[in-house]
Every structure is written in structure tokens, then in C-alpha cells.
Copies of this chain bind each other. A is one copy, B any other.
Amino acid sequence: MTPAEPRPDGARAGSPRPSTIEDVAREAGVSRAAVSKVIRNAYGVSDRMRTQVEAAIERLGYRPRVAARAMRGASFTFGFEIPQVGNDFLTMIVDGATEALAETPYQMIIAPLGRDQKGDMAINSLVDRQVDGIVAISPRVDPAWIERIAERIPVVMIGRHDRSDRYDTITGDDRSGAEQVMSHLLDQGHRRITHLTIHPSRPEPPWAGQAGDEPHVIRTAVYRERMAALGLEQSVVHTMFDGSEAHDATRALLASPEPPTAIFAGNDTLAIGVLSAIAEAGLDERDVSVVGYDNIPIAGHPLVSLSSVDQSGVLMGREAARLLFERLSGRTEAVQSQIEATLRERRSSAPPRRP
């Protein structure tokens, strides 16, 4: 705006350019290399030099530029790709990882997905930023593509049940979790049970053979098996992931001639949407029971009291960070880590009024 800027490099008065490693070296009377070693805690610096350099850093308020470091060595950054910022289960994962990174020089950055964006975009953006490790949560990316990335950067995939010998995976025990849900509902006497889950990938990706590895697909499969085993009629409804469609779908179900007495929702976000439709219809758990998956914090709230499968997101996040650190210190074989799943029974699921 004011075209009379004094010098292009100098910024405005009183704003000295941030100091560089060079400045620190001069101030401490040592070489750049020496400073570099100090800030990296590298081997081969005398105590005297260390104190000198640290004093200079302090005096100058020096902070290493991540970009410059990344060009030669590490960026000291782990990148998290998360499909929805608002999803409380993912939040728990991030919390767990944040905690694990707290006392390390590593920082976490999160690349959120825009609506309708695919996971590739966010993962690519992390790669472009030369993060030292990637935690990917979107289940719908080409495994072969991820493997290629994992050749250069440690990758942990959370959720998907495929095995790779290039990247590590962390999964919940989706089969067991879903079994617990179904047993619970069937034991309570439910027979008309609808399963509500998110849409499968559309259009079918070329690697669709792998779709069976997605957590939601496994949960659905278990539902089908259990229903089939008892000769019960299966009813699977697909919606978008954000809960508002789950609400509408439930309303439609309730208006149908033979509404279900129980709904098994693929995750808690969907279940919350289901509960809202049930409440709006003036019904409760004796009319329609609901069970969710993930045990997000609000599920335990007494006003909501949603039965749900706990698969400790916090633990998953902590584990993800641990696996990345292991890779960084040399591990090359892939690891598959499985987290237990436990159904927490709450008020939202009860024996049906008329079985």
C-alpha cells in the first residue's frame, strides 16, 4: 500500500530480520556447524561451547527455521491426516498423540480434509511438507500408493485391517466389537434390527478388492452374519458421515410399516443423529434401542447415555506416535497393532416393549 518501503529486505522500522544460525555463530564466536550440533544435541561438542552457544541463542531469541532444516535433515514434525476435524473419535486419537509428543522435540501438524476432498490431498500435502512421519486415518486411499509413500516416510494407518510390510497399522477389534453389539441386542430380544452405516466408496475405486478392510465394512459384515444365522431379515441403510442424514434416514425408518426395534449405528456420530430423530418422534429406548461405536465422550453424558463400543482412541494416538518413533530409530519390519473393543452398555439400549 505505502509504496515508499525503504528496502525490500528490511521490513518496517524496528523489525529486525529474525536471527539465523549464522548470527548465533558470530555472536558466540564459533562456526555454524558448531551451533547446528548444539541445537540438535549431536555428538561432539564440549560443555564450554555448548553453554556459550546456548547463551547466544538465548540472547538473540534464535529459532531454527523448519524449512531450512527440512532441506537437509529432519523437519521434526509428524503429520496427521484426519477426515473430519469435528469427529470426536479422531479428536481422541489426536489427544493421545499430542500427549505422547509432549516432551519430545517433535511437533504435530494436522491436515484436515475439506468436504468432498479425498484423503490423498491431505496426505500429499503432508508429504510436500516433508514431515518425518505420517498418521493416516482416511480408510479410502489406494494401499499401493500409500506403500510407495511409506518407502520414504514412516506411515501408520489407523483403522484399516489390511497388512502391508511397508507401513504399520493400528486397528480396533471391529469384529469383536460388532459381535458384542449384536449379541447384546439379540440377547435383549430384538429381532428387527437395522444397521446404519456410511456409504461405501463411490465410484468403486480400482483397489476396491480391499474394501473389506475398512472398519465399517467389517462391522456391517458381522451384522449380516449374525442376522443370517438366525434367519432374520437384514436391513442396512447407508448415509453420509455427518449425522444429519442419519437423522433423516431414521425418521423414514420410524414411519415405515414395520419399524426396527433396534438400530446398530456404524459410529457414534451417526448414532447421535439417530437418537435425535427418535427423541423428536416422542419415542425412547423401549421403542427403538440404539447402539453406536467409538464411545465418544458425549455418549457417556446422562442425557444421551448411548451404548457404544469403546476402542480407546487415546490409546491409538499414543501407539501411533510410538510406532513412528520406532521407525525413526531404525525398525524396518511392519507392525500390526490391535486395540481391544469393549461394549459399554448404557440406557439407549433396552429390551423392546413388544418383542
Contacts and interface: CB of A to CB of B under 8 A. Distances in A.
A117 B95 CA distance: 13
Given A107-B125, A114-B99, A302-B280, A332 B85 contact: no
Interface stretch (A11-19, A167-175, A181-189, A221-229): A11-19
Place the interface of chain A in its size category: 35 or more
A65 B128 contact: yes
Interface string A265-306: 000000010011001100000000000000001100111100
Contacts of A92: 86
A331 B1 CA distance: 6
B63 A67 contact: no
- Report, nearest first, the 8 A-B pairs whose CB atoms are least far apart: A67-B70, A279-B302, A110-B110, A15-B151, A86-B91, A67-B67, A109-B109, A1-B332
A95 B114 CA distance: 8
Contacts of A15: 148, 151-152
A124 interface: yes
B110 A63 contact: no
Contacts of A65: 70-71, 128, 130
Interface in A95-154: 95, 98-99, 101-102, 107-115, 117, 124-125, 127-130, 148, 151-152
Given A68-B71, A115-B99, A304-B304, A109 B107 contact: no
A117 B77 CA distance: 17
B303 A64 contact: no
Contacts of A130: 65-67
Nearest to A281: B302
A206 interface: no
Contacts of A331: 1
Nearest to A244: B297
Given A1-B332, A65-B70, 18 more contacts: A1-B330, A11-B151, A65-B128, A67-B67, A67-B70, A67-B71, A71-B71, A85-B85, A86-B91, A86-B92, A86-B297, A94-B112, A102-B115, A107-B111, A109-B110, A109-B111, A276-B301, A279-B301
A70 B70 CA distance: 11
B64 A128 contact: yes
A220 interface: no
A272 to B, nearest CB: 7
Given A67-B66, A128-B66, A303-B275, A152 B107 contact: no
B86 A129 contact: no
A333 B2 CA distance: 10
A85 B95 contact: yes
A75 interface: yes
